[in-house]
Amino acid sequence: MRQNSTYKNSRFIIIAIAIFMSFAFSNAMSFQKTDTSIIHLLRPHASKTPTFRNSLHLVMPPIKPAVISTTKVSVTKNDDKLLTNVQVYPNPVTDQINLKYEISRSSTVTIKVMDVLGNEIVTLYNQRTEPGERNFNYQLNSKLSRGFYFLKIVAGTESVIKRILVLN
């Protein structure tokens, strides 16, 4: 019995809130000439008396003028990449990995072979390198088993990852 009355009371409260909200929104909203509303076809009612035929009117707030900032923003493209033109050949690899890359300024270059899970298999190269085009060759000699691997070339803070297929 107590549960039944709780449901009746909660229904009554929900209906009362819905009616109150409908009247509050329909009478409290005033339309302005500068108002940017989604429902621009609605006209303000001549009388302010609430009627049950009025629906809930949703009006967007007026758009405020944009604030102009004096902060200068550079939109030029920065082409000062450290590591460019990375090429791995031949792919699929059978006996030797050939790698060609170009660096624009002197930095530490690291070349690693990683498996598909991201685990490091072997570090092929880790030295400070002068700017320019570089070629790197690595003899496999059955050091890597057959499958897919990733070559990760890191120069400074930049890195390039290339996928290779080893056929042994």
Model confidence pLDDT, tens digit, residues 14-47: 888 888 777 666 655 554 445 555 454 555 555 5
For the ranges 24-38, 110-124, 148-162, which has the lowest average pLDDT? 24-38
Rounded Cα–Cα distance for residues 140 and 95 (Å):
5
Would you call 106 exposed, middle or buried from its count of C-beta atoms within 10 A (0-12, 13-18, 19+)? middle
**Span 141-145, mean pLDDT?**
82
Q: What are 123's two structure tokens?
A: 């570090």
pLDDT given at position 68: 57
**Span 95-114, mean pLDDT?**
92
- 3-state SS string for 86-143: EEEECCCECCEEEEEEEECCCEEEEEEEECCCCCEEEEEEEEEECCEEEEEEEECCCC
Rounded Cα–Cα distance for residues 27 and 47 (Å):
10
Model confidence pLDDT, tens digit, residues 43-85: 555 555 555 455 555 555 555 565 555 555 555 455 678 888 8
Which amino acid is present at 100? K
The answer to whether residue 126 scores a pLDDT higher than 90 is yes
Q: Which domains does the chain have, with CATH numbers?
A: 1-73 (no CATH), 83-166 (2.60.40.3080)
Which amino acid is present at 96? Q
